[in-house]
Amino acid sequence: MKVIVLGAVGYGDIKEIISIQRFLKEKGFEVIDQFKNLDYSYVEDFRDKKELCEKIIKNDLKYVSEADVVIFLVTKPSFGAMAETIFSYLTGKYVIALCKDKVKSPWPIYFSNYIVKNESELIDVLKNIKLKDLKTIPNNYGEVEIELTYRDFTCICPITKKRDVAKLRIRYIPNEKLLEYESLKRYFKKFEDKELYHEEVVNIILNDLIRIIKPKYVEITAEFEERSNVKATVRKCWKSKGLNHEGICYKEG
């Protein structure tokens, strides 16, 4: 699990960020150091430094993207740390707000999964976090229909013990959550060495999606490569109670 520590770099919190980084390393966590190639804490005024600004933003977002967990030191106001926190939250990462003092803004609290008040509570939360196979992001776009295709799905046939290959297609109408694409790829990779029947594959994926994203409608189609001169396509869908949508689905309730 990779963690990154964010805070008010330009407003005097660089020492506190480094202190928390060192503390987490001592506790055995893998800490991303966004300052190893670019320390900009010395800059007093960015108004005439457009190129440096671009370099810093690209650097910071690169390292934030690599993290599984973001720790936001909510001490002094920080435009950059708040923007990075919102970016992290909306891309499905865990965000922990470390608030040692009173917080007079709702923003860092709203965009955090956990609120802790000291280093001891921080360690307790980090130890209890289990990285999800499937990550989600908030649906801020209303009712849309989404179709996702994955062409490299594999599992093991329980009968022949040979590898089955399939193209998977997910169609869904989201409710409050959207699937995050990169985590979907990692989720599918976990099937590679499992012995599963075709129908079992579709059932597992469908049930996981219902549980994690709670969609209004979801349909899974698995097109397996030909075996013994037979090409199998397995399809199953589900819709929430009261939803009018085409397809033979089992319904909520």
Catalytic residues: 157, 164
Cβ proximity of 216 and 238 under 8 Å? no
Cβ proximity of 87 and 64 under 8 Å? yes
Residues facing 153 on adjacent strands: 166
Tell me if residue 112 falls in helix, strand or coil. Answer: coil
Cα separation, 136 vs 22, whole angstroms = 30
How far is CA 162 from its chain centroid? 32
Owner of token pair 């013994």? 228
**Token pair listed for 26:** 């001592």
Cα separation, 62 vs 178, whole angstroms = 22
Q: Which candidate, 244, 191, 184, 242, places its Cα nearest to that of 209?
A: 184
Amino acid of residue 202: V
Q: Which candidate, 219, 152, 212, 131, places its Cα nearest to that of 179?
A: 212
